Chain A
């Protein structure tokens, strides 16, 4: 089965950069997803990594190292609206297994 670990909470300052880490253990790897979930709302897709390396998408970047079972989500130029929960997820068979999520608070 899958085991996914993320920090529970993080705090950062508006305009700064924050890195949210995710480690996973899997018997078979089919990529790794990052989702963003604002309080009371549905999760929304941010990124999908299946190959090692960094993928950049505007202010958000996601990194994957398959040999280390490690990924991170990098958020640059933080804005107040980035305050949300960030969920790391890996597929297991036909289902998606989520980490507990990292609650990010952006302070002025």
Chain B
């Protein structure tokens, strides 16, 4: 079974631009969560999607948004990029999510650099 895939793996943008990252979950998994990882803040939860609906949201500004498609693939968008948005963006998929234990399988991440 293929793992979680994320594209692109690396991205360089400039301040003020916007970016879209993509995540394909493990086949059969319906929950997709997004995390931002930085050296200073560690891994921080952005949001979770299930059945095309945002089910949980972290404490990030509205510039960070996402969506999920009917095939469970998910995208996240960051508008008006700031230098501080430079980070590793990780996506994790799980079967249904919402209850625990709920093992999340992480993708390799997208390394975003904002210049």
Residues of A within 8 A of B (CB): 30-31, 41-45, 48, 50, 87, 89, 91, 93-101
Contacts and interface: CB of A to CB of B under 8 A. Distances in A.
Given A30-B100, A91-B100, A44 B43 contact: no
A101 B42 contact: yes
Interface stretch (B64-72, B73-81, B101-109): B101-109
B42 A94 contact: no
Interface of B: 4, 33, 35, 42-45, 48, 55-56, 58, 90, 97-98, 100-109
Given A30-B100, A87-B43, A101-B42, A93 B56 contact: yes
Given A94-B55, A95-B48, A95-B56, A45 B33 contact: no
A43, A89, A95 interface centre (most CB from chain B within 10 Å): A95
Nearest to B47: A95
A45 B109 contact: no
8 contacts: A30-B100, A45-B103, A45-B104, A45-B105, A91-B100, A94-B97, A97-B45, A98-B43
